[in-house]
């Protein structure tokens, strides 16, 4: 179903297909009334979209999705409703973009060796908006470059063979610990949200240990209505929310039009027995 709230989506400021203005217009067309643009490791999408959102009468919430590592596993933390101009958030952006820049150099080197084909970082940077956006290079940009070079037929193959978990291009050593990301968000006055926890390949015990650390650091919410998650996955996330006293968040994780029917506002119905993260927003 389509929700009036979508608190997890992406623009060309990171790895989305639509620029911030177009994303806002699409959200309005889709009936979304409250939107958070949560680009990876940058608030630029929100900053660019704000004037358009104000013109359209759309409530735009400051958002970001921070890349972190917990127990050697990539864990994403969404930040919502923070002060984008706070020193804490500026520090988060600076540190994350530097980490992303360093990671892109390592990925290019590893893929070049794996494929025995030189991967020129400047070509990948061009797909992310040019040299000035080089820090924003992500794995999807590398995947697109492999397609452009005729090395793989599509995105799915690129990730399956070279960029997915455990593959040559899966580089995560430079990301901060999850605790640090949570503290940045909280210091900026926002709510830290555990993103798509049902997708992490953790045992139940390990996921609970991760949640223990997340909550201890100040985490306040977990996504309980997300994209195309099924009923069982939603039930698991709701149980965690209740056990830890967390609020619930929701989002499509929309990156751009795709054949699977995922669009802005598309997610399961928000559970009635979970307090929404927006319950105390002015």
Q: What is the pLDDT along the chain (282 residues), one digit of tens a residue?
A: 679 999 999 999 988 999 999 999 999 999 999 999 999 999 999 999 999 999 999 999 999 999 999 998 999 999 999 999 999 999 999 999 898 888 899 999 999 999 999 999 989 988 877 544 445 788 888 999 999 999 999 999 999 999 998 899 988 768 999 999 999 999 999 999 999 999 998 999 999 999 999 999 999 999 999 999 999 999 999 999 999 999 999 999 999 987 677 999 999 999 999 999 999 997
| DSSP string for residues in 46-106 | HHHHHHHHHHHT-EEE-EEEEEEEETTEEEEEEEES--TTSHHHHHHHHHHHHHHHHHHHH
The CA distances from residue 230 to 67, 272, 277, 282, in Å, are 24, 17, 21, 31
For 34, the 3-state DSSP assignment is strand
Listed in sequence order, the residues at least 6 apart from 29 whose beta carbon sits closer than 8 Å to its beta carbon are none
Q: Residue 9: what are its φ and ψ, rounded to 5°?
A: -160, 170
Task: Calculate Rg over the CA atoms of the chain.
Answer: 18
Strands 73-80 and 63-70: what pairing? antiparallel
Listed in sequence order, the residues at least 6 apart from 72 whose beta carbon sits closer than 8 Å to its beta carbon are none
The count of other CB atoms within 10 Å of the CB of residue 11 is 27
Distance CA 163, CA 186 (A): 32
Global pTM?
0.89
* Bridge partner list, 5: 34
Q: Are 84 and 13 in contact (CB under 8 A)?
A: no
């Amino acid at each position: 179903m389509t929700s009036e709230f979508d608190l997890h989506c992406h623009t060309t400021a990171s790895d989305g297909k639509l620029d911030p203005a177009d994303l806002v217009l699409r959200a309005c067309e889709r009936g979304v009334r409250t939107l958070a643009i949560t680009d990876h490791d940058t608030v630029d999408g929100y900053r660019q979209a704000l004037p358009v959102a104000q013109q359209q009468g759309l409530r735009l919430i400051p958002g970001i999705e921070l890349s972190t590592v917990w127990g050697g596993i990539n864990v994403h933390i969404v930040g919502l409703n923070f002060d984008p101009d706070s020193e804490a958030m500026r520090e988060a952006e600076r540190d994350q973009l530097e980490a992303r820049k360093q990671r892109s150099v390592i990925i290019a080197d590893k893929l070049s060796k794996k494929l025995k084909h030189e991967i020129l970082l400047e070509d990948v940077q061009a797909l992310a908006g040019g040299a000035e956006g080089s820090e924003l290079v992500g794995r999807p940009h590398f995947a697109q470059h492999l397609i452009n070079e005729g090395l793989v037929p599509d995105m799915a193959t690129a990730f399956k063979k070279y960029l997915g978990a455990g593959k040559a291009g899966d580089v995560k050593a430079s990301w901060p610990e999850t605790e640090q990301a949570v503290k940045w968000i909280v210091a900026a006055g926002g709510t830290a949200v555990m993103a798509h926890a049902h997708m992490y390949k953790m045992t139940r015990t390990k996921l609970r240990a991760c949640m223990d650390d997340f909550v201890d650091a100040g985490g306040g919410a977990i996504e309980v209505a997300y994209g195309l998650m099924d009923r069982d996955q939603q039930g698991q996330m709701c149980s965690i929310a209740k056990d830890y006293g967390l609020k619930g968040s929701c989002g499509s994780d929309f990156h751009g039009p795709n054949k699977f029917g995922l669009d802005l506002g598309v997610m399961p119905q928000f559970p009635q027995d979970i307090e929404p993260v927006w319950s105390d927003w002015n």
